[in-house]
Amino acid sequence: MKGIIFTEFMEMVEEKFSVDVVEEILSAANLESNGEYTSLGTYSHEEVLNLVTLLSEKSGLEAGDLAVVFGEYLFGRFATIHADFFHGVSNGFDFMEKVEGYIHIEVQKLYPDATPPKLTCTRASDDKLELHYRSHRPFASVAEGLINGCAAHFNENLTIDRQDLPGVGPGTEARFIMERTS
Amino acid sequence: MDAEAWKKRYQREKSARKAAEHIAEEKTREIFFRNQELTKLAASLEEAVKERTRELEQQNLSLEEHRDKLKNQRRMLQSTNQALEEKAIELEKISRYKSEFLANVSHELRTPLNSTIILARLMLDNSEGSLNTDELHSLSIIYKNANELLEIIEDILDMSKVQAGELSIHMEDVSIHDLCQTLEEQFRPLADEKSLAFTIDVDSDLGEWINADRKRLKQILKNLLSNACKFTPGQGRVALRVFRDVWNPDTDYTSECLSFEVSDSGIGVPQEKQQTIFQMFKQADGSTSRNYGGTGLGLAICRKLSDLMDASLTLVSEKGQGATFTLSLPPGSLLPNTEEHSPSSKDNDFFLESAGSDDNEVVDFNQQTVLLVDDDLRNSFALSQLLQKQGLKVLLSENGQQALELLETERQVDLVVLDLMMPTMDGFTMLEQLRSKVDYRMLPVIMLTASSSAEDEKRCRLAGADDYLSKPVEVSELLTCLHRWL
């Protein structure tokens, strides 16, 4: 998994909790990488799952909820770092539809070894979109958070019906049926 | 360091890390694009190479097609050439057959004509005075017509020889005086008959001798004079002029040559016909043959003979204004004017003919015996009649074998007149056998043959013939020849 997920996760914990919490969960995790992340590196996604679990234990919040929050946070960061992806895109559905065919391809240009999730969008109507998520990583909740972040970015109200699918394990595949209400 | 300072330092380091990450990402992106450009360039190069390869292949293909086409064309040309060659060989063969056929036919025609002419001539002499004027007139017509027929046959034979490439030229020294005298004798009576003013004029600055083919030169001049007489109406004018002329007048390389100019005041030849009349079987127009007769071969033969002698034969004429034919012999024909030719030169045809034609000079023989060997009985009969009249005894044999047997029993033979082509034993074989016997080594033998080839004459003379006459022989010529050996 790309290093930016790790660095941004650390940033979020630092921001939402504290530097001390970061140090605490890092030392508790006993990571292979020793937590020396850079956005350019590639690290095992087990590490971030491990950190989320430790943060859940520490904060008493649900791991799944933390993942969703992280997703929302991550989207906001992307919007800041990669503002160019948003040029000429006026709503969330349009952006989501661009992710697979544009953004993931751009990612692969920079990191040929990257393995982003497979996203398939089906537009039922102008205001209704079905997004199918599939990955070898159990990050469906992060995806959900990203969708929330997207709606927030475009200042939209979405109802999201998440249906978990079996995939290669829990959290690896899900269907999000979204309806725009405003 | 207190916590605040550590925090600042941590923030600084984090910012530095992010900046480094950003730079690295930019660099990676740049590398990606560079890579992409390189890949594109490589692809376009590859495409260009492919395109060029395709073009080359196409060119190769069209070159191959072109080559194949050329090969095909060459093959076609070769086969056409071959077909043409075969055709040429075939045509040559046909032409040769035609020439041989014409030569054979002419030979077959000449032999009976020979005896007709001799017998008519004999009867015309009317030595016993038994023929009346009408009979003599009829005979003279027979004699004249037979001679005309002979001339036509001679023309056809000459033409076939020319076509077969068998006609050759024999240069020798010829006396202009004798030549002109012969022509004068031959054409004077004809001119007188039509009341034509006939003149032969030899320029005084010419020597006596020229170098030419006597027979062919005479043949051309006879033909031209005969045409002139034929196409000039009564009271007209026919002239032969012999003079020094300019050779190659139209070029920078001129020299002196000898010209024979035959001019007349006759019907002339229209401009547009002046080339065609030199072609075979062509006359000035279709009516010429009806009005004046002739085969249309005469001038064609003259032109061919003139070419063979490297001479030039030209015509200047206008319709109704007469015609002037000029035969110019090449510069080598003019000989320096010296006297040394004279003594030996008397021994030539012109002299003998002119002398022989004078009947007064022919004296009767003294009952010498002549053996006449000829398979053509008409010919033998005609000749024996002629010779007996001249006071000779004549023995006849039909072939060489018979003649040799006759010589065994009849030893009183003073001369042999021997035909060349005969069945059982030909004249040539007989001559060889005769000369192999001591008794007959000195016996005069005159070969007489319808073959007019120079090769045959040479062969006969080598085998021991004393003289060689070709049929049809002129009476005077034969008698002169006999006088020489008896």
What stretch of H or E contains A140? helix A140-153
What stretch of H or E contains B397? strand B393-397
Q: Write out chain B residues lying below 8 Å of A39, CB-based.
A: 18, 21, 25
Query: In the numeric block, which tokens belong to residue B321?
Result: 């204004």
The answer to whether A19 contacts B10, with C-beta atoms less than 8 Å apart, is: yes
Confidence at residue A177, expressed as pLDDT on a 0 to 100 scale: 96
Task: State the best of B32, B35, B36, B37 to mutate against chain A, taking most chain A CBs within 10 Å.
Answer: B32
ipTM: 0.72
Confidence at residue B350, expressed as pLDDT on a 0 to 100 scale: 37
The answer to whether B24 contacts A110, with C-beta atoms less than 8 Å apart, is: no
Contacts of A68 (CB under 8 A, 6+ apart): A141, A142, A144, A145, A148
Q: Write out chain A residues lying below 8 Å of B13, CB-based.
A: none
User: Smallest CA–CA separation between A103 and chain B, in Å?
Assistant: 14
pLDDT digit string (tens) for B55-73?
A: 999 999 999 999 999 999 9
pLDDT digit string (tens) for B388-427?
A: 888 899 999 988 888 988 888 877 889 999 988 888 888 8
Nearest CA-CA partner of A37 in A50, A21, A48: A48
Per DSSP, the three-state class of B128 is coil
Question: What is the chain A residue with the closest CA to B34?
Answer: A109
Question: What is the chain B residue with the closest CA to A39?
Answer: B21
Confidence at residue B297, expressed as pLDDT on a 0 to 100 scale: 79
The answer to whether A110 contacts B17, with C-beta atoms less than 8 Å apart, is: no
Question: Where does residue B364 fall: left (phi above 0), alpha (psi -120 to 50 degrees), or beta otherwise?
Answer: beta
Q: Are A136 and A62 in contact (CB under 8 A)?
A: no
Least CB–CB distance from B29: residue in A19, A38, A110: A110
Q: Are B238 and B193 in contact (CB under 8 A)?
A: no
What stretch of H or E contains B15? helix B3-125
Whole-number Å distance between alpha carbons of B329 and A46: 127
Encoded amino acid at A9, one letter: F
Q: Is the pLDDT of residue A56 over 90?
A: yes
Least CB–CB distance from A40: residue in B7, B25, B29: B25
The answer to whether B29 contacts A109, with C-beta atoms less than 8 Å apart, is: yes
Distances, alpha carbon A109 to alpha carbons A8, A148, B29, B32, B194, in Å: 21, 27, 7, 6, 125
pLDDT digit string (tens) for B147-202?
A: 888 888 888 777 777 777 777 788 888 888 888 988 998 899 889 988 999 999 99
Contacts of B227 (CB under 8 A, 6+ apart): B298, B299, B325
Encoded amino acid at B405, one letter: E
Q: Write out chain A residues lying below 8 Å of B29, CB-based.
A: 109-110
Least CB–CB distance from B28: residue in A19, A38, A110: A110
Whole-number Å distance between alpha carbons of B79 and B117: 55
> B472 preceded by cis ω (within 30°)?
yes
DSSP annotation of B436 reads T
Phi and psi at residue B43, to the nearest 5°: -65, -40
